[in-house]
Amino acid sequence: MRNRFDASLRRVLGVSIASFAIACGPQNGDLKPTTGGSAAGANASIASLMQARGLSEADVTAALKTYVPTGKKDDYYIFSSGGQSGQVIVLGIPSMRILKYIAVFTPEPWQGWATGDQGSLELLEGADRRGMEMRWGDTHHPNLSETNGDYDGEFLFIGDKANARLAVIDLRDFTTKQLIASPLLESDHGAAFVTPNTEYVIESSQYPVPLGGGFAPIEDYNEKYRGAATFWKFDRAKGKIIPEQSFAIELPPYMQDLADAGKLVSHGWAFIGSFNTERAIGGNLEGRPPLESGASQNDMDYLHIINWKKAEELVAAGKTKTIAGMKVLPLEVAAAEGVLTFAPEPKSPHGADVSPDGKYIVAGGKLDTHATVFDFEKIKALIDAQDYAGKDPYGVPILDFQKAIRGQVELGLGPLHTVFDDKGNAYTSMFVESKVAKWSLTDMKLVEKLPVHYNIGHIAAAHGDTVKPHGKWVVAMNKWAIDRFNDVGPLLPQNFQLVDVSGPNMQLVYDSPIPLGEPHYTQIISADLIKAIDHYSPVGTDPITMQLSPNAVDGGKERIERKDDGVHVYMTMIRSHFTPDTIRVKQGDTVHIHMTSLEQARDATHGFGISSYNISMSVEPGKHVDTSFVADKAGVFPFYCLEFCSALHLEMAGYLIVEPKDGSGDVARVAPARHASR
Ligand code: K7E
Ligand code: CUA
């Protein structure tokens, strides 16, 4: 036993230990470049370490596959939704180290996101809804920009399910550049999904409402409530969505779910799952069945098959109506002109995932045990021949289920989402069973099931939804983390589990707690495709526009000017001072501070925090930011640099001195602390 163990350990560790010893160099007295003999010596101490920590051979293999030593970088980036945090979470593979939270829909003081910085505040205000200040989001589906159906590493899009909004993030600086609120919808779920050249970013509805907002009694659900699929036009050169060139397709009041764009043979098409084709409206206190059971009566719901190329033509031909400023292709036109077709899909499906060759669409039925594989070429032929099995109440043609599918693969309980590798395999998350099911798309057979932790939701693979999946890594995104990590009270993190899929058998190699909102979906991109900048250039760049700010301040041109609209402070910062560091204003003045970091050195970031005025800014090398506030409180307010940027960081500070209006010397007082008396 012991011998076999040592032998296999040597097999696992021998080479790595030897090369580790060489890489470590002479400063490490214990581990010199060695021959096989002393590598065995190192193995012996590893063996005792394993014994002391109770690690199995599989544990050590997993550690060797995932450990990334100090100074070494990861091979892949994971871009994950941050759920209710409204943010995006970035991790590395194989280490699963968290690299960054990208501020999107929620104020985030470290990045100065909407916590004083005018540019980001204006973005957020521009995406406020129906007169309401929206300061959170529920991000679900991040999608990377694509060129010819593969990730290009330029942009990331993400939808806010709660408030039907969409964000554009630039991966040069990992910063949000645009936020858009849907004028039509109140919630989205098929968002964001890009077409193969990022022509469009798709945002489709979840819960039907009267499109464009407004009131209609719930009893008028069938007539007045609608869903929609919005095709937001993306201008890559501008890095922006162009609302005027975008359009939507009106959909029946079913609950549309996830979307995916066709590619290669199915380029020009999009697919959206749906549930509640029963059109249940809930009302469990009003004598109607609860929404959940009302919505689970039918054996089949409808896969929405959308010909967006055709829709584009009809929109160009003016076949649209305008709702809340948006061009909308009416449901009857979409149904009559072959833009919208349905294929039945098994009970309460979740996921509509297009295979790498674009030929198949895989749907998982939450209440069904199969992955259903739709055949696009069959679907296309049926639509061309107008070979329909019927129509829904809105006149949308419905295909015959058996004629539209290639087949079904029996996987087990609760299949949800599917991703792909480079060897013709598919990986489906099994929510109810808490397993990853690996199955062959080539011969439509289950290959292997790997238990993962409780209730896997989404699943992601390296480039796993592109035309060129990489294989190698799969990430299981698990909803529960019970028994996995140290206790942190009743609210637990989620659990990402990294799975090595490079060999014949899947191996679970790492658990990573995700302690910021419920991450729904992620995408995994090769690190060499990300071309991030390390400073803003030229000095004075506004990160929202990526242009030189009109307010940029040159070194030596710092000044304070009183203008009609208030006091303008043109400030620079460089290790370790603000210029100016004394700002004198009168109570009631509007103060505009224009800040340019003169730094160009990587990572020489300064912050700007000011007492009692609720302002926090981040000023990375070369960046320009503006902030405005009314100095309505008289008093003395220190401001200081928020990042420990140098040995004289604590000295990087100054004062805002607000002279009382009436000259009485009365100053702002902090309100007496309110004591909780519960
Ligand atoms: Cu959580 Cu994609 Cu919103 Cu499935 S969704 S899990
Ligand atoms: Cu600048 Cu600390």
Res 669: pLDDT: 57
Res 673: pLDDT: 53
Rounded-to-integer distance, Cα 439 and Cα 411, Å: 8
Counting ligands in written order, the one closest to the CA of 517 is 1
429 C-alpha to ligand 2 centroid (Å): 46
pLDDT tens readout for residues 149-184: 999 999 999 999 999 999 999 999 999 999 999 999
Angle CA(497)–CA(502)–CA(506) in degrees, nearest 5? 50
Rounded-to-integer distance, Cα 332 and Cα 394, Å: 7
Residues 6+ apart with CB under 8 A from 575: 599, 604, 606, 645, 646, 648, 652
Q: Which of 140, 260, 434 to mutate for ligand 1's pocket (most ligand atoms within 8 Å of CB)?
A: 140
Tokens 């620079």 belong to 572
pLDDT at 200 over 90: yes
pLDDT tens readout for residues 82-114: 999 999 999 999 999 999 999 999 999 999 999
pLDDT at 539 over 60: yes
Domain spanning 541-659: CATH 2.60.40.420: yes
Tokens 């890095």 belong to 239
pLDDT tens readout for residues 555-577: 999 999 999 999 999 999 999 99
Question: What is the rounded average pLDDT of the residues 198-227?
Answer: 97
pTM of the entire structure? Answer: 0.92
198-280+294-517: what CATH class?
Answer: mainly beta
Query: Between the CA of residue 4 and those of 7, 14, 58, 197, 587, what are the distances in Å?
Result: 5, 14, 14, 53, 80
pLDDT at 139 over 60: yes
Question: What is the rounded average pLDDT of the residues 603-615?
Answer: 97
Q: Which of 81, 203, 258, 430 to mutate for ligand 1's pocket (most ligand atoms within 8 Å of CB)?
A: 258
Nearest CA to ligand 1 atom 6: 457
The full set of domain ranges for the chain reads 2-66, 198-280+294-517, 541-659
Atom of ligand 2 nearest to the CA of 576: 1
Strand 240-251 and strand 326-329: the pairing is parallel
pLDDT tens readout for residues 425-468: 999 999 999 999 999 999 999 999 999 999 999 999 999 999 99
Rounded-to-integer distance, Cα 263 and Cα 149, Å: 7
Res 367: pLDDT: 84
pLDDT tens readout for residues 296-329: 899 999 999 999 999 999 999 999 999 999 999 9
Band (pLDDT 50/70/90 cuts) for residue 547 is: very high
Res 14: pLDDT: 43
Res 671: pLDDT: 57
Atom of ligand 2 nearest to the CA of 642: 2
Counting ligands in written order, the one closest to the CA of 206 is 1
What are 586's strand-pairing partners?
Answer: 659
Rounded-to-integer distance, Cα 485 and Cα 511, Å: 9
Question: Sheet of 606-610: strands edge to edge?
Answer: 582-586, 653-659, 635-640, 606-610, 615-619
pLDDT tens readout for residues 16-60: 443 433 333 333 333 333 344 444 556 679 999 999 999 999 999
Res 663: pLDDT: 64
Band (pLDDT 50/70/90 cuts) for residue 191 is: very high
Question: What are φ and ψ of residue 184, in 5° steps?
Answer: -95, -45
Atom of ligand 1 nearest to the CA of 140: 3
Is residue 141 in contact with ligand 1, taking CB distance under 6 Å? yes
Band (pLDDT 50/70/90 cuts) for residue 586 is: very high
